[in-house]
């Protein structure tokens, strides 16, 4: 979206957000394991989509991985893994593991 007007960028961002929300079950639950004593959760499609959007960054890349979900890489390094539960063609639950010591033990080869 580099070089676009504020109005155009805002429209594109809103369309992307609406598209993301449409993929999520209205009752979706996201649970993130960030390490000992650090659990984050979000409930509902709008809250989960907003949380996902808040973590988007140019240096982050999401790649399919053999973890029943996807792996997130930050500047080429594994940062998190996500598992998805799908019901009725919508994502109903997302589990996120973002504990560096545990991620280091996973085989995240493409």
pLDDT tens figures, 13-43: 455 667 777 888 999 999 988 888 888 899 9
Tell me how far CA of residue 83 lies from CA of 11, 25, 99, in angstroms: 30, 15, 14
Structure tokens at 9: 């960028």
97-107 confidence digits (pLDDT tens): 888 888 888 87
pTM, two decimals, is 0.68
Separation CA 34–CA 18 (nearest Å): 27
Domains of the chain by start residue, with CATH:
17-104 (3.10.450.50)
| Crossing angle between the packed helical segments 6-23 and 45-54, to the nearest 10 degrees | 130
- List the structure tokens of 51: 């949380």
Q: Which residue is associated with the tokens 């649970």?
A: 31
């Amino acid at each position: 979206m580099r070089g676009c007007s504020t109005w155009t960028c805002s429209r594109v961002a809103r369309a992307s957000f609406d598209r993301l929300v449409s993929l999520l079950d209205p009752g979706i639950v996201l649970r993130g394991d960030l390490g000992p004593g650090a659990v984050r959760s979000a409930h509902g499609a709008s809250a989960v989509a907003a949380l996902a959007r808040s973590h988007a960054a140019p240096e982050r890349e999401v790649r399919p991985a053999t973890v029943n979900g996807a792996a997130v890489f930050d500047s080429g390094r594994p940062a998190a893994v996500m598992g998805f539960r799908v019901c009725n063609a919508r994502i109903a639950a997302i589990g996120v593991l973002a504990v560096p010591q545990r991620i280091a033990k996973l085989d995240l080869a493409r």
